[in-house]
Amino acid sequence: MLAAGHSRRRGDIDNAVSSTRTVDDVTKVDAAFTKYVFDEQLSGAVLGVVHKDRLVYADGRGFVRGHDAEAGTLMPVLGLSKLLTAVAVLRLADHGKLRLGDKVFGHGGLLQRHRPKAGDRRLGDITVEHLLRHQGGWDETVEPLYDPMLNELYVSRQYNVTDIAGELGKHGGRLERADIMRYVLRQPLAFAPGSRVAHSNFGYSLLGRVIEAASGHDYHAYVRRHVLVPAGMWHTRIGPDPHEEGELRVKAMQMEKVEREAEGRLTSDAETTTTTTDKHREIYDLLRPEVIDSTLGWHSNVYDLARLVANVFESRDPSTAILRPESVKRMLARPPLPVRQHSERWQGMGDLRVENDNKFWYESHDPILHTTIFLYHQQGARATTGRRQPRSAATARADVTMLLLGMTHKQRNHLTGSLRHQIAESLDLDAYGDDVLLRDLGGSRLTVNGRDLIVKYRVEEHRFAALASAMRLEGFYPDWIHGYSDGHHSYYAMIFARATDDNQLKFVVHTSASKKHTISFISTEVSRGFQTSFLQSFVSAAHHGQVCHLVVMKRTPSMRRMEFNVGVTIGEYTASRQEATLGGFRPLVQSVDTHRGALYISYLFEQVRARNRKSESYHDLTLARLESEVRAKAVSGLGLDYLDTYAGPDGEPRFSAVFGGQRAYNRWLLQTEMALGDVPTQVHTWAQRGYTPRLLVAYHTSGQLRFAGLWVTPLNV
């Protein structure tokens, strides 16, 4: 249903532009990429190119795990998992949780309790930095053990290796990470720690346990909170996307058919073959994410990897940088002996190879794991500003990053350096327009009445914090957020606006199921100069059906007087509201949740001048009454400023609404009963008529998910 009107001030409506610019012609790059994939017989690959802080190219070829390879395809990054682990370790060092010179198994070491009594005495000499630089004493080329992290895969293929499960008496059983650690630590080291470099997946598995011991958190949880979220890596996860699994078998034969056609050996679909997809399923069934987590377990895409490189190695804002500059330098610095000091190349931390002239790269062509992965980065000069700059800005830097993630069932690959040179020769990097990372943010991109907006309707709860960071890195801040549940999952509908000044990008988002923790967080951030701009309580699937509290804090030039509380009873809220009104406050937020039939309110009051205090609020409106009140309040000069939803005792929606007298818009339109699939269409339709999305909430009626949206035109239109 629609309810529409305008304020006492009338104005014209201009047309909106809803579009996403595309990059300039990339035919030469496409040709070079396609040729490389064909020449190297990759079954699928994705390429990304970053220049001057912009992802200027991202595209895919072929198939990956039964799907068409696209720019956003999630793929195993295998050895690049070590880069995430190294960044997490260095962040712990930056915060004083450990030192790189700390002994791992020695007296007082973080993993001392895991050291066997009969183990190699040199275990006590291993430091955290030794593990970071592959100098811990393990060598994957030494037989018969080779790489213990791949032992299950080796044994399943009947390679001539030690059967760790058999040695431990677990015949036919699955190897756990603790089993591998227990067995390997009982074996003699291949060399004295620090005396030479030898690649070791096991060493980085130990670093995952170091992170857990130093932080007090699960490895995945720590990396997610302290690396993925601040870097805006909202796709990256341990292990493959489980939603893909149901489609893989259906697409496997399609992919195999294409591969056979490309090789000129088309046979009948009934022919018995082992597809590349089957091989990948076999590998990742055996290489369980919980076992290989910190060394080989991460899955990501070129969008997120581009963000990681930019935020770790090219960060310009110390307040949001993941690592301190000195830690970044240490990661890439020439290591101490035994490296030849006049060598132009050396092993950095995170499995990176480093060259004298500010270059580093990671390259892996693994016939056993059927992957080819390449990361190349040429560092540019640092800029001094903390904001992302236009492409033509003088502060733009000449850094270049190339990312290639590929799948192959072949035993040989040429060095990807050839592709890098082809790209460099064919790509006019300065000719590109939009940053392709904007495309990854998804949703509806709008330009309405001079404002650039991104509207998203169904963001998974666990991705929200990282996505908010990704938005900030592209210059957008949260203008509206609404959390809601649908089935057994929770989501966010959100409106982000492009910032017009630096302060708008200084925001933090936080969710917690603890009332006490939420209040403590707000108090702490206020002491740091942040102010609460949004507060909502809703039932969270990620918190096992508990009420979750969402908070958005922003740094403002001048602090306003605010009052807030979380999860109070209706009686407590009424008393607080009356007292606040006498003190010159008006409500900004009035979020309602239910528990065992009782209503609880989380609120935010703002002190305002007397002429702006006029406001009215309701916490139990039905849909019909909401529409009626919006019309009635408009007649008396009050506009809808805030809206929240919850399920009433009859299962039908109830609305909490705040109406204010300080109108920030001219014409308005309230649209309700929109299905999820209809919302983007309506947003674009009304944007073309000059209406900006202001509020967007989800609710259930008769068991169906529906949305209500408020579209407005500003006063100066």
The CATH number that applies at residue 317 is: 3.40.710
Q: In what order do the strands lie in the sheet with 585-595?
A: 562-569, 598-607, 585-595
H or E element, residue 210 = helix 201-215
CA dihedral 312, 336, 131, 185 (to 10 degrees): 180
For residue 458, count CB atoms less than 10 angstroms from its CB and return exposed for 0-12, middle for 13-18, buried for 19 or more: middle
Who contacts 195 (Cβ-Cβ below 8 Å, separation ≥6)? 135, 338
Residue 277: per-residue pLDDT:
54
The answer on 460 and 409 residing in a single domain is no
The answer on 433 and 375 residing in a single domain is yes
| Cα 322 to the center of its chain, rounded Å | 14
3-class secondary structure, 692: strand
Intervals of the chain under pLDDT 70:
1-26, 241-285, 337-342, 357, 380-398, 409-434, 610-613, 662-665, 715-717
The residue type of 590 is Q
Whether 18 contacts 684, CB under 8 Å:
yes
pLDDT digits (tens, 9 = 90+) for 467-480: 999 999 999 999 99
| Cα 155 to the center of its chain, rounded Å | 35
Residue 621 counted as domain residue: yes
Per the structure block, which two tokens stand in for 339?
Answer: 């490296």
3-class secondary structure, 195: coil
For residue 483, count CB atoms less than 10 angstroms from its CB and return exposed for 0-12, middle for 13-18, buried for 19 or more: buried
Domain hosting residue 170, numbered range: 85-224
- Count of CB atoms within 10 A of residue 492's CB? 25
The residue type of 195 is S
Q: How far apart are CA 220 and CA 223, in angstroms?
A: 5
The answer on 93 and 187 residing in a single domain is yes
Residue 415 counted as domain residue: yes
Q: How far apart are CA 285 and CA 703, in angstroms?
A: 38
For residue 514, count CB atoms less than 10 angstroms from its CB and return exposed for 0-12, middle for 13-18, buried for 19 or more: middle
Closest by CA to 311, choosing from 299, 320, 300, is 320
Q: How far apart are CA 665 and CA 162, in angstroms?
A: 72
Q: Is the dihedral of CA 253, 256, 262, 264 positive or negative?
A: negative
Last residue of a domain, one of 397, 415, 437: 437
Q: How far apart are CA 301 and CA 356, in angstroms?
A: 28
For residue 560, count CB atoms less than 10 angstroms from its CB and return exposed for 0-12, middle for 13-18, buried for 19 or more: exposed
Per the structure block, which two tokens stand in for 34?
Answer: 């396609």
The answer on 117 and 147 residing in a single domain is yes
Q: How far apart are CA 260 and CA 628, in angstroms?
A: 64
Residue 611: per-residue pLDDT:
58
Q: How far apart are CA 405 and CA 428, in angstroms?
A: 22
Q: How far apart are CA 416 and CA 468, in angstroms?
A: 34
Per the structure, how many domains does the chain have?
A: 3
Residue 714: per-residue pLDDT:
78
SS3 readout for 546-611? EEEEEEEEEECCCCCCEEEEEEEEHHHHHHHHHHHHHCCEEEEEEEEEEECCEEEEEEEEEECCHH
Residue 251: per-residue pLDDT:
42
Residue appearing with tokens 């309040």:
633
The answer on 455 and 352 residing in a single domain is no
The answer on 426 and 444 residing in a single domain is no
Residue 20 counted as domain residue: no
In total, the chain counts a number of residues equal to 717
Residue 505 counted as domain residue: yes
- Cα dist from 485 to 253, 596, 701, whole Å: 37, 17, 13
The residue type of 711 is W
Last residue of a domain, one of 437, 453, 476: 437
The answer on 428 and 462 residing in a single domain is no
Q: How far apart are CA 664 and CA 681, in angstroms?
A: 25
Closest by CA to 639, choosing from 625, 620, 621, 659, is 659
Average pLDDT taken over every residue of the chain = 85
Residue appearing with tokens 């300065």:
430
Per the structure block, which two tokens stand in for 231?
Answer: 């870097």
pLDDT digits (tens, 9 = 90+) for 375-405: 999 876 544 334 444 333 333 445 788 899 9
Whether 63 contacts 44, CB under 8 Å:
yes
The residue type of 13 is I
Residue 19 counted as domain residue: no
Residue 41 counted as domain residue: yes
Beta strands in 301-399 (DSSP E): 345-347, 353-355, 359-366, 371-378
The answer on 628 and 707 residing in a single domain is yes
pLDDT digits (tens, 9 = 90+) for 341-387: 567 889 999 999 998 767 899 988 777 777 889 899 987 654 433 44
Residue 683 counted as domain residue: yes
The answer on 214 and 167 residing in a single domain is yes
The answer on 429 and 320 residing in a single domain is yes
The CATH number that applies at residue 167 is: 3.40.710.10
Q: How far apart are CA 376 and CA 422, in angstroms?
A: 14
Q: How far apart are CA 221 and CA 284, in angstroms?
A: 21
Residue 232 counted as domain residue: no
The answer on 522 and 494 residing in a single domain is yes
- Cα dist from 512 to 20, 222, 465, 548, whole Å: 35, 16, 12, 6
Last residue of a domain, one of 386, 415, 437: 437
Residue 330: per-residue pLDDT:
95
Whether 383 contacts 396, CB under 8 Å:
yes
The answer on 623 and 492 residing in a single domain is yes
Quote the Cα angle for 37-42-48, to 5°. Answer: 55
Q: How far apart are CA 694 and CA 713, in angstroms?
A: 9
Residue appearing with tokens 């610019």:
21
Residue 357: per-residue pLDDT:
64
Q: What percent of the chain has pLDDT over 70?
A: 81
